[in-house]
Amino acid sequence: MAARRGTRTRGAVAAPAAALIVLAGLTSCTPEVKGVTGLTVDAHGRPHAALAWCADRPPDLVVLTSVAESASPGAPTPERPYWPRRKYDVPRDAAAPALVPLEGFPPGPVADGQAAFRVSGATHDNSFRTEGVDFRIAELAELRPGSVLVTDFDDSGEVLRTVPLDEFTEMGEKAC
């Protein structure tokens, strides 16, 4: 009978301990948001990721992914071409707001102006990230130099809006 009691005690302690370990692992995987990411274009209409942050250093890279591919994987189609995750380095001495050219984007002529992508900032050590922005190719065509497409939040949830570069910089400063 004593042996059974010891087994029950270990089981009662092991389950909560395992739960704590899993919880700690889950929470440590999500980097803290310390900035914002936007999308802008230069004078020639070439797309750039815009980054503004409140951390003591800039993000290390910009990550560009296809939202459709990650949301519903499958074979590429003309309407949903394959677009692998791309990473672009942010200069180590970058100051906010930093504009990072998205070389090679968009991926040639895109048949579907509704093709969706996401751009965000990240660090190699996962110490922080910047809030990303989801956008469609058609929205990219509407951007003008000096304006930044961002994800904002209102009473209805996430909304896309275009802001001037100085307002975008303030959004990054207030992210902490």
131 touches 50 (CB < 8 A):
no
DSSP string, 132-159: -EEEEHHHHHH--TTEEEEEEEETTEEE
Q: Tell me the backbone φ, ψ of residue 12, rounded to 5 degrees.
A: -70, -30
Q: What is the mean pLDDT of residues 146-175?
A: 93
The pair of structure tokens assigned to 29 is 């995987």
Rounded CA-CA distance 70/155 in Å is: 27
Each residue of 96-150: pLDDT tens digit?
999 999 999 887 666 577 888 999 999 999 999 999 999 998 898 899 999 999 9
Q: Which of 49, 130, 55 is nearest to 89 (CA)?
A: 49
The model carries a pTM of 0.75
Rounded CA-CA distance 60/123 in Å is: 5
The residues facing 143 across adjacent strands are: none
Rounded CA-CA distance 111/113 in Å is: 7
Each residue of 92-105: pLDDT tens digit?
999 999 999 999 98
Give the length of the chain: 176
